[in-house]
């Protein structure tokens, strides 16, 4: 299947700092990427839909000023967690929409964020 | 509203067969997906159904009935490495994935 990379895979940071997570589709162009968050033993929660060249669409309850999303190219979307706090500690996963012979989403390996 | 239902947890024996059911009610339908997620890892794509019927891929098969809003994932010859959560997701009319909460499958020797 198609490959999506995510970097970094692990982040430990101090409270108040900002953290940037990159999501890249390596072998296909993705006009749409999705950012999810998953807390331990819970389901995936869609945070926002990122569209290349336009503003991201945020889900209800997700602060757009705290979770900045930039989809600057057809293969790269970034999520910046600004002024991170311990409650932002979670598993952040991106996916890229694949519109080849069938429509699907391929996931990156995820980024574990721990805010101290 | 949109709703995806699947059992929270299932237990099966190594070498056996298990069927994980998923029922859905969504605004529009552009396909149903099954993903596998091992603990601490991101989901990986297993199957896609958009037409009624059974799709077989090795030890895994997925079935869809659009009229009943129903799908199942069938796992044969279970191996210990199949212990994972299995996520059912439906792509709605906006091509957005609506996720079920996942079924945790426990395989016992």
User: Is pLDDT of B70 > 90?
Assistant: yes
Half-sphere exposure of A93 (CA within 13 A, CB side): 22
Would the pLDDT of A41 be above 80?
Answer: no
Q: Is the pLDDT confidence value at A101 over 80?
A: no
CA distance A15 to chain B (A): 23
* Region for residue A74 given its phi and psi (left: phi exceeds 0; alpha: psi -120 to 50; beta: otherwise): alpha
CB-closest option in A91, A103, A109 to B31: A103
Residues 5-64 on B with a CB inside 8 Å of A are: 30-31, 33, 35, 40-45, 48, 50
Kindly report which listed range (A8-12, A79-83, B77-81, B97-101) carries the lowest average pLDDT score: B97-101
At B64, is the pLDDT very low, low, confident or very high (cuts 50, 70, 90)? very high
Name A113's Cβ contacts closer than 8 Å, sequence gap at least 6: A11, A13, A19, A21, A81, A84, A88, A89, A90, A91, A92
Is pLDDT of A1 > 70? Answer: no
Res. A59 pLDDT band, cuts 50 70 90 = very high
State mean pLDDT over B52-61: 94
C-alpha dihedral, A26 to A30 to A34 to A39, nearest 10°: -10
């Amino acid at each position: 299947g198609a490959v999506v990379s995510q970097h970094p895979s692990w982040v430990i940071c101090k409270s108040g700092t900002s953290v940037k997570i990159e999501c890249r589709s390596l072998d296909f162009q993705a006009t749409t990427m999705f950012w999810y968050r998953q807390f331990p033993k819970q389901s995936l929660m869609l945070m926002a839909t990122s569209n290349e060249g336009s503003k991201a669409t945020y889900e209800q309850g997700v602060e757009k000023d705290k979770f900045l999303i930039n989809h600057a190219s057809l293969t790269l979307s970034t999520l910046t967690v600004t002024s991170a706090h311990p409650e932002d500690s979670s598993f952040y996963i991106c996916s890229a929409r694949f519109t080849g012979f069938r429509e699907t989403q391929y996931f990156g390996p995820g980024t574990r964020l721990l805010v101290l | 509203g949109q709703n995806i239902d699947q059992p929270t947890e299932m237990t099966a024996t190594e070498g056996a067969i298990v069927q994980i059911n998923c029922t859905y009610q969504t605004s529009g339908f552009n396909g149903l997906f099954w993903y596998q997620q091992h603990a601490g890892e991101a989901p990986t794509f297993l199957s896609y159904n958009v037409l009624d019927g059974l799709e077989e891929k090795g030890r895994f098969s997925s079935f869809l009935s659009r009229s009943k809003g129903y799908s199942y994932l069938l796992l044969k010859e279970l191996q210990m490495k199949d212990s994972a959560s299995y996520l059912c997701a439906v792509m709605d009319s906006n091509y957005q994935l609506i996720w079920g909460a996942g079924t945790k499958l426990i395989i016992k020797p």
